[in-house]
A and B are shown apart, each in its own frame.
Chain A
Amino acid sequence: MKKSVLRASDLAFPKQQRNWDWRAASNFIAGGAGGGLLLCVALAGLDAFPARVAILLGLILIGGGLTCVWFEIGRPWRALNVYRHFATSWMTREAVVALTVFAAGGLALLTVQPLLVVLAGIFGLTFLYSQARILAANKGIPAWRHPRSVSLMVATGLTEGAGFLACVASLASSASGFWFMAGLIVLILTRAFLWKAYLGALVADGAPEAALTVLRGTDARFVVFGHVLPAVALAALMAGIPGQAGLLLAAGIMMVASGWFLKFTLVRRAAFTQGLAMPHMPVRGRGTAGPAVKPGWKAMSGVSSG
């Protein structure tokens, strides 16, 4: 059991969530990348061998993430109950989609049949989207529930998937032409844009100060290593500088690593709960009501930060 070590003065403040540890984070980290990779494979039109490698990698990532989660849940032997709430639960939907991913992905792996590869890609994207919606449905975590977290999660999953694909392509010495590079750059720029949009909107709409501090603290590193450097590398490749395989590998790794860093940050470090608030302090007898208080949130007019 996780023993609370909170002090009384902290109890009303937003708290870093302690229920989803590295195992749950791994599902978002690996599974999201796996889903993104499957879609990228479908779009990239690779040769059979690299396609097989990439599909296998995608399935391993998704399977690995789900296994990690299985080790985290309190009642692993009744895990199949996860399928009981398709109507509203994105976790159920993720689990259902995972089945289709493995079915289509497995067949694609065996046959490298384009239709199956495309199907696996579509299911991979759906899996990725489901994960993004799992986070966003959690109203208890302001950094997750923000609507812009969905597009960011999807974008980073795709970027990571593309990063993986770039790595596979570089290692397999597979063709990686101009349009492939351009596609990667577009993805990188899109993720950068969505990240900035997310962070800006979160600041504007309000979130626990502790969460904002963590996210702001990651901003520069995320942007430089996840976007600027890989984009420069890819641009250089497009410009035709030598050492293509190495640069592509480096760009791919940076695209993946930065996305995982972002997701680990989001799922663990910036995952502060809502905290509790008092829009009105009570009136005691003939006293007066004190100002509103919302501990751990930026003071707004008439609201004390406690």
Chain B
Amino acid sequence: MTRYVMSIDLRRCVGCQTCTAACKGANATPPGIQWRRVLDIESGEFPDVRRSFLPIACMHCANPPCESVCPTRATTKRADGLVAIDYDLCIGCANCVMACPYDARSIVHEPKYAYGDTPMASEAKRFDPDRIGVSMKCTFCKDRIDLAARTGQIPGVDHEVTPACVNSCISGAMQFGDIEDPDSSVSRLLGETQHYRMHEELGTEPGVYYIWDQS
């Protein structure tokens, strides 16, 4: 079995939003819609203050609450661990948006462009009417993972088949790969670090691991 997961090393992340922008570019999301973003979190009181950066997106849960509530089977958990949405089935009921405890999903009800009502050439080229009125979220760059299945390339190793955010990250915070493969870079890194998954108490079994210290 394969289960693709992502690890995010919070020690490395500088909150630069390069992954946010790269994701927007790679997935042509409209203004205001971010399938991933990096949060800027502060705690403590002056002068004893901590500030951390927390990249968030779909956690591609092993037990995805969005999948079970979906009335259309548009949201499915794939055999390789990806949680996917079939835009042709989705009715945009937003039940999955409510079910997700990670604020990962959104629905865009009408086209929107960066500069007013008219799309730029780059926006027009990539506008996908299928994505209007349906639930959207990070796909782990599904097309790339599917390409890997065809070419035999390895996600997380071969850049062509690795999610855009991971490729773009300038601090090297993100790794992607098969956690079932003990030799994958993700498995090895998780083996030598302390990490957590977001809201594990909810039983969602997220596929994103946050590294916060060495073992």
* A and B interact: yes
Given contacts A139-B100, A291-B43, contact A20 B94 (CB under 8 A): yes
Instruction: Find B91's partner among A1, A9, A81, A277 (CB 8 Å cutoff).
Output: A81
Task: Say yes or no: A139 contacts B89, CB within 8 Å.
Answer: no
Residue B213 lies at the interface, judged by CB distance under 8 Å to chain A: yes
Residues on B close to A: CB < 8 A? 9-11, 13, 30, 32-33, 37, 39-44, 50, 52, 54, 56, 65, 67-74, 89-95, 97-103, 107-110, 112, 132-135, 194, 196, 198-199, 202, 204, 210-214
B72 touches A82 (CB 8 A): yes
The reply to whether the CB of A73 lies closer than 8 angstroms to some CB of chain B is yes
What CA separation (Å) do A280 and B202 show in the bound complex?
17
Can you report 29 residue pairs joining A to B where beta carbons are below 8 Å apart? A8-B39, A8-B40, A20-B98, A72-B93, A73-B133, A74-B91, A74-B109, A75-B133, A78-B91, A81-B72, A82-B71, A82-B91, A85-B71, A85-B73, A91-B69, A95-B71, A138-B95, A140-B103, A273-B103, A274-B102, A276-B54, A278-B52, A282-B52, A282-B213, A283-B11, A284-B11, A290-B50, A293-B50, A306-B43
The verdict on A11 contacting B37 (CB below 8 Å), with A139-B202, A306-B43 known, is yes
Residues of chain B lying within 8 A (CB to CB) of residue A74: 90-94, 107, 109, 132-135
Contact between chains at B91 and A75 (CB < 8 Å)? yes
Does more than half of chain A's interface fall in helix, strand or loop, or is it mixed? Answer: loop
Q: Nearest CB to that of B135 among chain A residues?
A: A74
* A interface residues, how many (CB within 8 angstroms): 59
| Distance (whole angstroms) from the CB of A81 to the closest CB of chain B | 4
- Give the distance in Å from the alpha carbon of A10 to the alpha carbon of B132 in the complex: 27
Among A86-143, those with CB < 8 Å from B are 88-92, 95, 134, 137-141
Q: How far, in Å, is A67 (CB) from chain B's closest CB?
A: 14
Question: Is A226 at the interface (CB under 8 A from chain B)?
Answer: no
A138 touches B32 (CB 8 A): no
Residues of A close to B52: CB separation below 8 A: 278, 281-282, 290, 293
Q: Chain B residues near A277 (CB, 8 Å)?
A: 198-199
Is there an interface contact between B68 and A89, defined as CB atoms closer than 8 Å? yes
A275: nearest residue on chain B (CB-CB)? B103
B212-A282 in contact (CB<8A): yes
